[in-house]
Structure 1
């Protein structure tokens, strides 16, 4: 089984010399053996062909996902658990470790082994899948780890754009012409945009992690409902406010927010191993108060989201493979135009209590890659607690400023939930 990488996947893959890795850490209370862990990993590989895949190149140097025979198992790296923060250091190590993807799968596993509590990490190349896909195979891994003979089904994998874009759109002459025209115009424009000769020196990467307790998380969700805005909009506003407060004129007043393609393309199932995403950019209006901004931003988000068209977007990108080099150069060497990427995975619907162990927490995923500004904030909610991972690099956002931004985000949350206590 094999398929060509789509434009976005090729962009994330790069040339193999720079890592673009995502990490999902989680904490289990219980005892395990490596044999049990390897069995669970083997079973999720058996369900998902692309978890077995390597990258091969054809005569035109085009990369393909290819499933080799026999199956190459997901490698396990075991380290002794010394402290509760070991997962942060191991996450950072995994960001930097290249995948030998022509000979090994694009996914690996880290077991931070303790006597009663273990932290575990799935690390995978971002070209393989997104956070939604990763949560699906994490859920399946835990099912098998708890019950080795559990049935998790079989994925019918996406084999190309034809499995996502309906044939009546993909083969429509007018739509094909439109996609090709937009692709050519974009390719020409990208080629003409001036960029630096060298990319910004990234310097040291870092991870800042924190949680809201269950009570505060519940109050925040209730507050957002009362304001008729999403938690995503509220947190985007809080992040933008924090960047402005900390960075002043250096702030861009722009946050990029991924939008799950599954909302618009039902062909992509929750358990599909797939990496393509959609994006919108949000800003605040400096002339409005925070609460006024929330409603204005919510309207903006809904308007922009309603205009997203995953099918045409994919067709445009697939018509522009010859522009990949220039597009990658623009992302790497172009001037940064947004403060950060902000992604809210929402409530993680994975059980926490199992027969053989307890899933104490899932830490929000982290990801760092070479395509420009690395500043990223990811949040998720598990067992009622909102969890934040804030990644960055000193060359783009100094660690001291990132800490100050975290503090400002927390101040904004506290101010909106408990104004009397703050004032």
Structure 2
């Protein structure tokens, strides 16, 4: 398997020396053998060639994913003794800072925090390899094979390039090609002209705040939002922005960016495809409206922006912008942050919890941190009826005490609905 990195993958990969790691932790109760874990990981590699890949460069310094057929690179498994139920947080934060050797591969590794009857596992994947949707699909397959070593998890039909995502009639459209080249050229010129700081913002200490809602409150919030005609995602965005405004005051930007799963718009990308490209929209609050009036206004804005999302046009435009990659990366790293936070909602995780020799007690919301500007991110998901939150940031962008206050204020707002 050999294929060029797409624009977004190149951006996330960088030069391969700086960590940009997605960290997916979960907790099990029961018994798993190391041999069974290694067998399951190898079976994942047989299905997904990308889990066996390294990044190599051609004669013009273009990076390619490369995997050598039936020659497998072992997925590393690091075992740590479980001392407390919070060890997974410490290990997750440690894994943010450990770079992959992308030239050797693989771009995935495991941490097993091994206890007696309770263990946590952390799957670490380079973000250039996959998004949250891909990570959940990989986790589900891993659990299936841990439960039954002979389980049939199929074979991935790999995405080998933009032509496997964008329909041929769009890819070959003269109008679309001209539009993509024009927008790509304008973006390139803008990025070349726009001034950026010559000095990076000092990130200082990275940190994570994690919490769960009990099942009763989780269900009540879902029902309340349904009754009011807004999504839970929209309500969380309003609450998050209100919390940022209350705590940050003059430092409040009134902007939250929200990633959108590209699979909603591009059916060519299957649930089990390993793919890292995402879509995005930005929302703001209106301080003059009460909570649900603002949520209704925001919901209309989100629906309008979502309807305009075009993965095919965006992919084609980005693929015309490879020459602007260095300027774009510099803009993200050195440019002044105008967003308060990125908010990502994975929604309900539909992974089974009961298996033959173990039970998945919980799947924690993933975390991801990278070098491209403001690291402030909140990720939420729902598993076994409980909403789960992971709030990631760096002291240089958002002081830890402010983050704690934002978390508390946001939960006060949601609990009062």
The answer, yes or no, to whether TM exceeds 0.5 is yes
Q: Which residue of 1 aligns with 2:42?
A: 42
Distance across 2 between alignment mates of 1:129 and 1:51? 10
Task: Give SS of 2:416's match.
Answer: helix
- The reply on whether 1:366 has 2:367 as its aligned counterpart is yes
Q: Which residue of 2 aligns with 1:141?
A: 142
Q: What do the CA deviations read for 1:220-268 (whole angstroms, capped 9, x no partner)?
A: 0000001100010000111000000000021100000001100100000
Q: Which residue of 1 aligns with 2:378?
A: 377
- The reply on whether 1:186 has 2:187 as its aligned counterpart is yes
Task: Give SS of 2:59's match.
Answer: coil
The alpha-carbon deviation at position 149 of structure 1 amounts to 0.4
Query: Is the contact between residue 32 and residue 358 of structure 2 (CA under 8 Å) also seen in structure 1?
Result: no
Distance across 1 between alignment mates of 2:230 and 2:408? 23
Q: Which residue of 2 aligns with 1:204?
A: 205
- The reply on whether 1:22 has 2:25 as its aligned counterpart is no
Give the root-mean-square deviation of aligned CA atoms.
0.6
Distance across 1 between alignment mates of 2:19 and 2:81? 25
Distance across 2 between alignment mates of 1:384 and 1:253? 30
Q: Which residue of 2 aligns with 1:157?
A: 158
- The reply on whether 1:326 has 2:342 as its aligned counterpart is no
Task: State how 1:261-276 maps to structure 2 within 5 Å.
Answer: 261-276=262-277
Q: Which residue of 2 aligns with 1:115?
A: 116
Task: Give SS of 1:285's match.
Answer: coil
Query: Is the contact between residue 340 and residue 377 of structure 1 (CA under 8 Å) also seen in structure 2?
Result: yes
The alpha-carbon deviation at position 16 of structure 1 amounts to 2.0
Report runs of 4+ in structure 1 exceeding 6 Å deviation. none
Q: What do the CA deviations read for 1:54-93 (whole angstroms, capped 9, x no partner)?
A: 1000011111000124110211000100000000011011
Task: State how 1:176-325 maps to structure 2 within 5 Å.
Answer: 176-325=177-326
Task: Give SS of 1:352's match.
Answer: coil
Distance across 1 between alignment mates of 2:290 and 2:33? 55
- Segments of 5+ residues of structure 2 without an aligned counterpart are none
Task: State how 1:339-358 maps to structure 2 within 5 Å.
Answer: 339-358=340-359
Query: Is the contact between residue 258 and residue 342 of structure 2 (CA under 8 Å) also seen in structure 1?
Result: yes
Query: Is the contact between residue 54 and residue 68 of structure 1 (CA under 8 Å) also seen in structure 2?
Result: no
Q: What do the CA deviations read for 1:4-61 (whole angstroms, capped 9, x no partner)?
A: 0000000000112311001000001112221111011111111111111110000111
Q: Which residue of 1 aligns with 2:31?
A: 31
The alpha-carbon deviation at position 198 of structure 1 amounts to 1.2
Distance across 1 between alignment mates of 2:124 and 2:243? 30
Task: Give SS of 1:389's match.
Answer: strand
Query: Is the contact between residue 17 and residue 101 of structure 2 (CA under 8 Å) also seen in structure 1?
Result: no
Query: Is the contact between residue 255 and residue 338 of structure 1 (CA under 8 Å) also seen in structure 2?
Result: yes
Q: Which residue of 2 aligns with 1:420?
A: none
Q: Which residue of 2 aligns with 1:129?
A: 130
The alpha-carbon deviation at position 104 of structure 1 amounts to 1.9
Query: Is the contact between residue 3 and residue 65 of structure 2 (CA under 8 Å) also seen in structure 1?
Result: yes
Name which of structure 1's ranges 32-41 and 381-390 shifts more when overlaid on structure 2: 32-41
Paired positions, count: 416
The alpha-carbon deviation at position 289 of structure 1 amounts to 1.2
Q: What do the CA deviations read for 1:99-151 (whole angstroms, capped 9, x no partner)?
A: 00111200000000011111000001000000100000100000000111011
- Segments of 5+ residues of structure 1 without an aligned counterpart are 417-423
Distance across 2 between alignment mates of 1:406 and 1:40? 37
Query: Is the contact between residue 133 and residue 271 of structure 1 (CA under 8 Å) also seen in structure 2?
Result: yes
Q: Which residue of 1 aligns with 2:106?
A: 105
Distance across 1 between alignment mates of 2:128 and 2:337? 22
Distance across 2 between alignment mates of 1:300 and 1:322? 33
Task: Give SS of 2:257's match.
Answer: strand
Distance across 1 between alignment mates of 2:256 and 2:200? 21
Distance across 2 between alignment mates of 1:291 and 1:264? 28
Query: Is the contact between residue 171 and residue 177 of structure 2 (CA under 8 Å) also seen in structure 1?
Result: yes
